[in-house]
Amino acid sequence: MCSKTTQNQSSGSGSVSKQSSDWREEAINGGSLRHVDLHHGSNGWASPPGDLFSLRSKNYFTRKQKSPSGDWLLKPAGFDWLRSTSKLDNVLARPDNRVAHALRKAQSLNRSQKAFIFAVNIQVPGREHHSAVFYFATEDPIPPGSLFYRFIHGDDAFRNQRFKIVNRIVKGPWIVKAAVGNYAACLLGKALTCSYHRGSNYLEIDVDIGSSAIANAILRLALGYVTAVNIDMGFLVEAQAEEELPEKLLGAVRVCQMEMSSATFVEASPSPENATGPVAAVSKRGLGLSKVNHHKSEDDEDGNF
């Protein structure tokens, strides 16, 4: 009898877990780019394990040592490759955003009430504007006092000093590796203009590549070879004090030999004030107006971006 009770409890817990992940599965599989095999996929995206990224370890400030990141703090929740006639800002506040819609639908069924979405929107200027939007999520409350909690609730000055990307060129021609760097770390909030959009259950960071002539030129070069490139991108909040170590990835994505023509066309962004539901913005825009210079992280190894 005890064994049967334990089995039923386990089954119930698994059902709740599955219900909580349903909206993420819908978001992961619903974009214009497929979720593909990590090693053999093309024209899609995958989720590289955190151990592929070397980040600041517990004794970094005394011995300058790094260690594999381990598991991400957040889980993958989709990737959108979008194009439009103008720059797309605050995409999670759009009523037609499919990831926000999937979460709203789950919450209407009383599921995933505590879910939180973290999104990074890489904005690429051009005759047509493109956005690569990476979504990550958690079903658990963000621990108060944690570095990520402070990042979510902090001001733009704090965010600009801490928001970091780590790049790995997994596959690609030498010219791309030389331009981007085979393994590069960059404080995006100091190198580029970042806009921070905070909703009741999300934080979106819009990264304007056009705000830096150098970054724009590097990206243009890389896009010329994009169908031959696999690149890993990891996002994190940089640890700048010993008590914040070791660093942990918020999330990571591998873009696999993407085709520009795969982008989904969307209309120019509607006003965020018109967004409704549980994923509505509580503030229209938070601007990180940092100087447009190149700011590598101090532990950048050989990258230029």
Inside any domain, residue 242: yes
Inside any domain, residue 13: no
Inside any domain, residue 77: yes
Inside any domain, residue 294: no
pLDDT over threshold 90, residue 248: yes
Q: Which helix (H) or strand (E) holds 27?
A: helix 2-29
pLDDT over threshold 80, residue 227: yes
Domain membership of residue 111 as a residue range: 18-288
Q: 226, 260 in Cβ contact below 8 A?
A: yes
Number of compact structural domains in the chain: 1
Confidence of residue 297 (pLDDT cuts 50, 70, 90): low
pLDDT over threshold 70, residue 282: no
ω into 246 cis (within 30 of 0): yes
Query: What are the pLDDT digits (tens) for 106-161?
Result: 999 999 999 999 999 999 999 999 999 999 999 999 999 999 999 999 999 999 99
Instruction: Specify the pLDDT at position 247.
Output: 98
- Of the two residues 223 and 274, the one the predictor is more confident about is 223
Query: What are the pLDDT digits (tens) for 50-75?
Result: 999 999 999 999 999 999 999 999 99
Inside any domain, residue 5: no
Inside any domain, residue 206: yes
Query: What are the pLDDT digits (tens) for 40-55?
Result: 999 999 999 999 999 9
Inside any domain, residue 188: yes
Inside any domain, residue 12: no
Instruction: Specify the pLDDT at position 26.
Output: 96
Q: How far apart are CA 55 and CA 177, in angstroms?
A: 20
CA angle 153, 155, 161 (to 5 degrees): 110
